[in-house]
Amino acid sequence: MKTLSEARLRTLVLLEQAGIILTEAEKKRIEIATFGLADYPVSGLQLLTYINAPGYCAKELVLFPRQTCPEHLHPPFADSSGKQETFRCRWGEVYLFVDDESLPADDVDDKPVCFVPEDGNKWYTCHRHILLRPGYQYTIAPNTRHWFQAGERGAVVSEFSSTSRDELDIFTDPRVDRLAGIT
């Protein structure tokens, strides 16, 4: 991808394929999150926040084919136990890796379902996953490590959560700066 404006256009195409209709104002608010990493779009995320208010938040997350959102958690803050979020897949497929013992491990038959970005193995510690396809959803408990990667065609995921405080997110990879590269 040559420019962030191309990434924004590509994001709009995927949202349209998912049947999500945006206003012109919403289209202009699409964020390109590079996380300050040099390998964007391998690592990264495109998102639109509809609302982020005390008690609730709603977003669309867009992932390009095999794009990865780095491992992180949403820690407690103020009087909150941390952000609880539900991911609901709208289009494509997304592999959601979560520190949840009830999920299957990624090492079945020694064939991983996803590959972490180059030089990232030590920063991706969650090996249990759920595959979300359109209509499937999963709720991530507050303060729980997780990361996700789109399937071959990419993915569009609606996120419903408690209040989002992105600046407080804790990433296992110390190179990540959650607020860097947001346009």
pLDDT of 107 strictly over 90: no
Q: Judge whether residue 105 has pLDDT over 80.
A: no
- Residue 86 has which token pair? 């539900």
Average pLDDT (86-108) is 89
Given a cut of 80, whether residue 2 has pLDDT beyond it is: no
- Residue ranges of domains in the chain: 4-171
Structure tokens at 13: 């195409």
The β-bridge partners of 57 are 52, 161
HSE-up of residue 96 (Cα within 13 Å, Cβ side): 26
Fold of 4-171: Jelly Rolls (2.60.120)
Average pLDDT over residues 32-37: 94
- 24 φ, ψ to 5°? -60, -40
Of 42-46, 105-109, 133-137, 140-144, minimum mean pLDDT range: 105-109
Q: Is 170 helix (H, G, I), strand (E, B) or coil?
A: strand
The SS3 assignment for 47 reads strand
Reply yes or no on whether the pLDDT at 173 is more than 90.
yes
Mean pLDDT of the chain: 92
pLDDT band (50, 70, 90) for residue 181: low
| Burial of 172 from C-beta contacts in 10 A (0-12 / 13-18 / 19+) | middle
CB 85 within 8 A of CB 161: yes
Q: Given this model, what pLDDT does residue 3 score? A: 84
Strand, helix or coil for residue 63 = strand
Three-state secondary structure call for residue 58? strand
Output the 3-class SS for 76-98.
CECCECCCCEEEEEEEEEEEEEE
**DSSP for 92-160, written as a single string:** EEEEEEES-TTSPBTTGGG--S--PPTT-GGG----BEEEE-TT-EEEEPTT--EEEEEEEEEEEEEEE
pLDDT confidence band for 183 (50 / 70 / 90): low
Residue 155 pLDDT > 80, yes or no?
Answer: yes
